[in-house]
Chain A
Amino acid sequence: MTKKSKRTSKNIVRRVKYLQKSKLEKEIIAGNNPIYLSDSDRITYAYKRNRENKKISEVVNVSLEIKIKSKWLTIKRYDSSHGFLHRHTRVSIGDDSEIISVAGVKKSGKHSNWLTWSIKDIKAKFWFYKRAFLKRSGINQD
């Protein structure tokens, strides 16, 4: 006779932790080293890739960071942690809360398409994102 484990909350937590750990071991996080554009602007790309089939399994972080008063602030960030690509937008220098949105974000395709799309988006709209953030923060760039 086999002993059946009880479905206690402690056992469920243990099981979830085990599944999370085994999932992590199957994936490798690549990228995650920022690329400097200037001494006060940089971009970071990080994604998860499955060790077995080599496919991109998650966009971890595609972000645009700027340095203001010796502090690096992430002003725009994409990730697909909930199974779909979405955008995080920092409100302003003084307000570190984020607006999470899928408006105008690529919905079709897979994680690899989303990674390419977010890299292109940050590149294409770099100046727009930066100017908009500085404007929201009350800083005039002119």
Chain B
Amino acid sequence: MSKNKQISKNLDLSEKLAYYIAAHPTLNTKFPKGSAYVAFSATDAKLNAANKKLVLNLNKEGKKIIKAQETKNENKPWNFSFASI
């Protein structure tokens, strides 16, 4: 997957994630300061493979990454976990 395609697809996902974050103000209190999100799609395996590489690179840089996994469950559309090497 090209970098531009990855960015375009992640823009769509990030918008959905942003609305979820806006609706759940206590979410960021669960994670340490300085951590960042990488979103994973519920349906797009190619994007997820590209984002997995992104997480590995960010981890190598010492970034604390939260994996935001989109789900197909309307009641719980996102699952959050720490992504480590």
Which stretch (A3-11, A82-90, A93-101, A119-127) binds chain B? Answer: A119-127
| Residue B84 is within 8 A (CB to CB) of chain A in the complex | no
List 6 extra interface pairs beyond A33-B35, A116-B22, CB under 8 A: A30-B21, A31-B18, A36-B65, A38-B7, A39-B54, A116-B19
Q: Please give the number of chain A residues whose Cβ is less than 8 angstroms from any Cβ of chain B in the complex.
A: 25
Partner-B contacts on A (CB < 8 A): 28, 30-39, 41-43, 45, 47, 49, 54, 56, 115-116, 119-120, 123, 126
- Flag if A33 contacts B11 (CB, 8 Å): no
**Which of B6, B14, B25, B54 is A49 in contact with, Cβ under 8 Å?**
B25
Q: B residues 40-75 with Cβ under 8 Å of A?
A: 54, 57-58, 65-66, 68
- Flag if A31 contacts B58 (CB, 8 Å): no
- Flag if B11 contacts A123 (CB, 8 Å): yes
Q: Which residues of A contact B21 (CB under 8 A)?
A: 30-31, 45
Q: Which residues of B contact A43 (CB under 8 A)?
A: 11, 14, 18
Q: Which residues of A contact B76 (CB under 8 A)?
A: none
Q: Which residues of B contact A120 (CB under 8 A)?
A: 15
- Flag if A35 contacts B17 (CB, 8 Å): yes
CB distance from A75 to the nearest CB of B (A): 14
Q: Which residues of B contact A35 (CB under 8 A)?
A: 10, 14, 17-18, 36-39, 68
- Flag if A119 contacts B18 (CB, 8 Å): yes
